[in-house]
Structures are given as C-alpha cells and as structure tokens.
Chains A and B, each alone.
Chain A
Amino acid sequence: MSIVTVQLGQCGNQIGFEVFDALFNDSHCPRGLCSKRENEAYQASCKERFFSEEENGVLVARAVLVDMEPKVINQTLSKAAHSGLWKYGQHSCFCQKQGSGNNWAYGYSVHGPRHEESIMNLIRKEVEKCDSLSGFFIIMSMAGGTGSGLGAFVTQNLQDQYSSALKMNQIIWPYGNGEVIVQNYNSILTLSHLYRSSDALLVHENDAVHKICAKLMNIKQISFCDINQVLAHQLGSVFQPTYSGEGSFHYRRNPLGDLMENLVPHPEFKMLGVRNIPQMSENSLAYSTFTWAGLLKHLRQMLISNAKMEEGIDWQVRPPLSGLPPLGNMSVNKETRFNTSIANLVILRGKDVHSADVGAFKDPALYTSWLEPVHAFSVWKTQRAFRKYEKSAALVSNSQSLVKPLDMIVGKAWNMFASRAYLHQYTKFGIEEEDFLDSFMLLEQVIASYCNL
C-alpha cells in the first residue's frame, strides 16, 4: 500500500527531500546483509510504498510539494533530479510568489481557502497513481507561517475528502529559543487544529536532533541539512519494510495502519516520539560493533529517563516498583522523572534479529495502569540491515515525554495572550480570541490526560 507525502513550507520540503533520499539510498544499498532475493523483496516493498515508476525506470516520489515562495521548492526539485535515480514529479508542486510572513492566520485563513482547489487537485492526482492508498504523511513545521497555518488547513481538508485514509503529521518542534516571536502562538494553534483532524502527530524536536548532531555525529557547524538528515534517518528506520509477523518472511503491507492501530487508537493520546539507536557518523560505524542486548538496554533506559540519545543517559531513573504508584503524582516541574508510556513499538533491523530479546519492554511497570503490555507493546523485525548499520533499533512511543515541552509552549503562549500581545496579526485574518481559548483548552486537556497516566 502506498503513502502520499505532502511537503509543506520550507521546513517540510527540505526534510521531505532528505526522507525520500534516505529511503531510496537504503533500499538500493548493495549489501544489506541478506540474500539477493530478500533484498529485492525489500526494494520492491519500499518502492511500492513511496515511489511510482516512469517508463524509463526512473522512480518518482509519491509527493506533493507546497510552498508560498518558489526558492526552496526549486532547490528541492533540482537536488532530487541531480541524482538521476529518483526525482519528484514535474507537476507535483504548488508555489506562489509571495511569502506569508510567519503568520499562521494568513496561512490558514487566506492561503488555504484561496489555493485549496489547486492543492487538493495535486494530491488527488498523486492518490490516483496509487493502486491502494494507506494514508498520508504531512511534513510541516509547527511554528512557522506557511507550513503551520496552511498545514493545519490542508490536514483538515484531507480529513474531509479522504476520511477513510490515515493521516500522520510529521511535526517539527521549534527550538526553545527560536527566532520567531509568535512561534508559541503558531504552535498552539497548529497543535490544537491538528489534534482534531489528524490521526497521529509524530513530533521531531529540533533541540534534541541538534544535540544528536553535536554529540553523536560530531558535526562542528550544524546546518539544517545535517538536522534533516538525522530526521530522515529516524523516519526511514521506522517506515522501511518489516516482516508482517513473528516467523513470517513477507513484508507487511500497511505499516502506517499497523503503527496507528498499536499506538494511537485513543483519541486523547496522539502524540508520538521517535528514538533511534545507534546513531553516529558513518566514519565511526566501521569501528563499532553492537549486541542486541546492549542496544535494547540503552533504548529502554532512554525511554524511561526521557533521553533522546544514547549519550548522557540518566541510569538512576528506575521504573516504580509494581503495585506502588510512581513517586508523587506527575508534576511537570520535576527534573528527572520516570517517563510512563501508554504504548511502544520497537523496530529491529539487521543481523541475528530473531535472537534479540525484547522482554524488558514488556515490563508492566513501564506502562500506565490501564493498559497491559500485551496490548501496549509490539515489535517489528527484519533481517535486512538499514543503511550501513549492522544492527539498528528504533522506538516509536506514545508516552509522557512530550508533556514538558508542550507545557512550556502553552505557558509561554498564555503569558503572551494574557497581555494581548501581537493578537491583531491573527484577528486581522479571522482567528479570533475564542479560537485561541479553544486551543488552550484542548491542549490543557491533552497535558492533563498525559499527566494522569
């Protein structure tokens, strides 16, 4: 089944390119540590999901590119075409000549309705190329102008027009010390709207990925390109093909559907995070060997202590003893806190994957009281190695780890709102104070729900 990606704004388009590039390069990796036949099946599965094929054999990404200015889209198109192996469709882009000045309301109330027909037409053409549609990826930033406002509008439209298809929004969480003054307003408006119309919000935090680049990849001058590549690596490690079940050697046909079924069936809990291990520069790869036991142990502790990378993990954080409630009720201000999960999905790729023991993730102490590990935990595997990593593991989790960042953003936005700062930029284009209040209410509810696990 195929996934159609909608790349929105500068952020969405740059990341989207890196994602397709990573997926393509991985599926055409000559090694992969498995038989030729297996490799071909893996390639075919990846291709069907993310690419369509032209007559001359060149792969075309199943994507629609949207931006209000042409510069980034043109860069993206040419970078893709440069490889000669895959590209974007010539007619899959929509752009205008003007920007939107980081104004969420302008993106949502003006750009959206004005260009609704053109954008949805492009999406429809892409959907028609698919034999069967699994769902949509929508890659967007949360705090910018075009990506966020327009993204919220497009997602709502997708909900209306393709109500039976699944939607996962890849949201880029802005830096805590971001440059855009109104980024917190934009963030809360985006999140509240997406919570209503999307099925899952997979959050990528800029701060976390930045640290990965600095500490693990040893990059001195971190550019957005580096950050996007790390992001693409994480996404690829989740959505590349995996076997459909224990003991099966067929690749699962609908990973998006299976992921959603396991992680976000509850309408109040839609926020997902991704962790990856190991993550390092390709130069260091050749000198490292890992065991599944070691990787899984680190991954579990990363989950519990809410660490985003395998360095600097706090090993003091422990799950609460069974039967006892976690220490105190969750107060957002506590520094090191045990991160309770609702549901987890572990994805293992590489050598001897069938010998990997994930028992530690089935510990009921990791999970909230109302969901047992048999319902809350699932694992996907494939022998085929991901990129150059002999063994790699990814963890997608629905847990409390985003509560603190969310609470911070809501707090800052509320402070601004209380003094009515910059509101005229929004009310000018039809986003009234009630809309802000609705957003605050929804997000406070989300925070409360996650805190009460």
Chain B
Amino acid sequence: MGRRRRRRPDPADAARALPEAIAALSRALPAAPSPETFRRAKFDRPEAAPALWRLLFRVLSPLPADGASASLALEAQARWVKSALRSQGYPRQALVQLPDEGFQGGRELLLALAWLLARGPLPERLLTQSRVRLGDEMPLCECEALASPGLPAPSVEAEGCVDIRHLQWLMGKLRLRWRNLMAGQQEQCALLGQIHAYTRGCHSDRSLGHLSVTETELLRDPKGGRQLLLQLETENARLEAALEWRRRELVFWQWMDTVLDACPPEASLPTFLPRIPKLGAGAAGLLVRELQALQEELREAVEARRAAWQAAVGGHGPEWRAARRALQTAVAQDLAALQRAWEQDEGRSRPHGPCRLVRTEARVPGGPGLWAAGVTEALRAREACLEAVLSQLQSQCRQELARLAGARPGLIWILPPAH
C-alpha cells in the first residue's frame, strides 16, 4: 500500500483533526458506521467488524442496495466482499483468512476500506450512483453493471439427481418473466410518452420543454414533494461531508499508517491458488490416465486433420487460390467493419449510464445528448450481430445432435422440430 509523505504533526491539531476527518468520511459514505467504530477497528475490537463488513458490502455492490441484498446474512455478505476484493486485486492475505461469521478482523477491514479509498474517488462515485434523479431516465449501456461481479445469488444445493421437470419449469418461468418484463417496459414507455406529450410547454427550462414523472407528481401532490425535499437535503449533507473529507483527508492517511504498523508483518506477495477439491488417490490417478488418453486422441485427430487438409490444399491450384482470395476479402471486410464501428463509437464518445429522456420536436443539431433514433440504430446493428452468432451456435448444436443421433444405431432419437 502506498505511503503518503510524512509531515511532523502537531499533537493538538491531530487530536482534533482526526476525529473530524473520520466523521466527515462517515457522513459522506452511505451506511457508514460511527467514528467510534473506526477507532475500535484500529484496535481490532470484535464489535467493530460487522459494521465494517456491511460498509464494504454496500460500497462494493454494483447497484444501490435494495431490500433483497441488504437482508443477506452477515456471513454471505462477508464471503461476497472477500471475492469482490480479490477480483479487484486486493493484495492482503490476512483479509481472506478472516472467518466468515464476521466478528473478527476490524483492523484488516479498515485497511481494505482505506485501500479502496486510495484507489479512486469512492465517496464521489457512490454519490453519483445514488443521486436524486428528477428526470425520467433510461440507461444507455450496461457496461458498468456487466463488468462488476454480480450480487450473490441464493445458492441451491443439488443433492444427487435433479428432476428435469423442475428445470423445465424454471426455464419456462424465466421466459415468461422475460416476456412480462418486456411488456411492462413497453407499457412504461407508452405512458411516459403520454405524460411528456401532455406536459409540453410546462417546464421552466426551455431546452427540456416538458415535465418528467417526478416533476409532474410534485405539481399534482405537493405534500408528496416533501419526501423529495428530504432526499435532496440528505444528498446535500452528504455532498458537503464529501467536500469536507477532501479537505481533511491527509490526517486520515497519516493515521492509517499507524494502523498498518499495528498489523503483524505479512509474508511476501501471496499467490492465490484456486481451491482444488480433494480427490482420492484413485480418482486422481484415473483422471490423469483419462487426460493422457484424451491428449493422445487429440494429437492423432489433429495429425489426421492436418494431413487431409494438406492433401486437399496441395491438389487444386486455381480453385484453391480463388477460395483463398474470397476468404481473405471476407476477413478484410469483417475487420474493416469492426474498425468503422470502433471509430464511430470513439468519435462520438458515447455517454455511459442513465440519461434523461426528453421528448422534443425541435431539431437542434450538435446539442448535448443523443437522439433515440441513433441509439436504436446502434442497438439494432448489435442485435443483428448477436442473432447471427445465435443462429451459428444453433446450427452447430443441430449438427452435433445429428452426429450423436447417427453415432448410436441402437437408440431412437426424436429430434426437436427445427424452427
């Protein structure tokens, strides 16, 4: 962990500045424990650990906490935090070795938090995630959500056999839920369109022109607006706390040095080995033999394939050259298309994450934001690519099924209808 430049601190100042800095941090982060907990954590007191586990869970989650994730048991949260930190490259072995129950290791957790704080603007990022949104928003892309580790799913232990009907049921349920989601989304779009059309001309900001749902609700039900006001005030308080934290954070880092010193020395760079399930000696031997046999098979198959190919290539002159040329042009076209797509995206520097929906007749070229038509076009192109890949995979599957059907003459296979 990086060390900040040391400066000889004035004891009186430090005594006052540190609690204030930690208090600011605690106010700036969501669901953060009290400054007292931080102090207890330095001394590795057990009561500090659960609060810090929960804070790390909240901070590392890709999406704002909802009821489901918040109600996860402490053990599950701790396990998830460990895996999330590991996937981000957290170097300290001691954290991984903490028991999952969550009542030990306050000091290690404090170090982990500091590591996250040092890596990037954490309070600011969290504030962006949870900011109060006045407009109707739609996400443009999901790259952030896709890149981060998903939230822990309830683990289902499959003891022995699973009835295939159960799986079919779940698959069907997933499909239906997907359809219902699509229908719900279309409904939402239709209704949003109606509200936007109806409130045309009502917004004080001319560039927006119409009201969003939140703004309409404010007009319709001023008492409900009190809730919004409270949210804005809370957000304001957190913003101010974040600013204060930035002013005072130096003294926090000096304190963290002392925390690091208080830890027992760690062994040099630990390597994380994947956990190999314990195989019996017999099973391991069998596995090794099977792998060797497979390797032999592969080698023979490769050699046979290569020989056949070379024979085919060597034989035909002009036909082969023509085929090769066609192949080269096809590849060149694909590469060019990729290049174009890349350049287009780069040039436009597409915004990420949620964007406010504005319905407008005016054609304002060069204004901020994107036209929905452009976005849908890009999405359609991507859909076409994915469809092509899907049909390729499906035909591969079908070929494989046909091969299997032919391989076992004693069995009667009833293939699914091709559609």
- A residues whose Cβ falls under 8 Å from a Cβ of B: 1, 131-134, 164-166, 253-254, 257-258, 260-261, 264-268, 369-371, 375
Contacts and interface: CB of A to CB of B under 8 A. Distances in A.
A1 B181 CA distance: 12
A267 B184 contact: no
Nearest to A164: B179
Given A132-B186, A261-B173, A371 B166 contact: yes
Given A131-B187, A132-B186, A257 B169 contact: no
A266 B165 contact: yes
Contacts of B169: 265-266, 370-371, 375
Contact of A261 (B163, B168, B176): B176
A410 B244 CA distance: 79
B180 interface: yes
A258 B176 CA distance: 9
B176 A260 contact: yes
B197 interface: no
Interface string B164-203: 0110111111011101101110110011001000000000
A265 B176 contact: yes
The B interface, classified by DSSP as helix, strand, loop or mixed, is helix
A25 B173 CA distance: 34
Interface in B143-172: 163, 165-166, 168-172
Nearest to A133: B183
A1 B179 contact: no
Given A253-B184, A371-B166, A267 B172 contact: yes
A266 B174 CA distance: 11
Given A265-B170, A265-B173, A369-B163, 19 more contacts: A131-B194, A132-B183, A164-B182, A164-B183, A165-B183, A257-B179, A257-B180, A257-B183, A260-B176, A261-B180, A265-B169, A265-B172, A265-B176, A266-B168, A370-B165, A370-B166, A370-B169, A371-B166, A375-B173
Given A266-B165, A371-B169, A375-B169, A254 B191 contact: no
Contacts of A266: 165, 168-169, 172
Contacts of A371: 165-166, 169
A258 B169 CA distance: 15
A313 to B, nearest CB: 29
Nearest to B181: A257
A371 B169 CA distance: 9
A139 to B, nearest CB: 22
7 contacts: A165-B183, A254-B184, A257-B176, A258-B180, A261-B177, A266-B165, A371-B166
Contact of B175 (A1, A265, A369, A375): A265
B331 to A, nearest CB: 36
A166 B178 CA distance: 12
Contacts of B183: 1, 132-134, 164-165, 254, 257
A370 B180 contact: no
B315 to A, nearest CB: 49
A370 B169 CA distance: 9
Contacts of A133: 183
B194 to A, nearest CB: 8
What 8 A-B pairs have minimum CB-CB distances, sorted nearest first?
Answer: A265-B172, A132-B187, A370-B163, A257-B180, A265-B173, A261-B176, A370-B166, A266-B169
Nearest to A368: B165
B156 to A, nearest CB: 11
A342 to B, nearest CB: 8
Contacts of B172: 264-267
Interface string B250-265: 0000000000000000
Contacts of A370: 163, 165-166, 169
Contacts of A164: 179, 182-183
A370 B172 CA distance: 15
Nearest to A257: B180
Among B166, B175, B191, B194, the most chain A Cβ lie within 10 Å of the Cβ of: B166
A254 B166 contact: no
B158 to A, nearest CB: 13
Contacts of B175: 265
Contacts of A165: 183
Contact of A1 (B170, B176, B187): B187
Contacts of B176: 257, 260-261, 265
A165 B175 CA distance: 13
Contacts of B163: 369-370
A261 B165 CA distance: 15
A253 B182 contact: no
Contacts of B191: 131
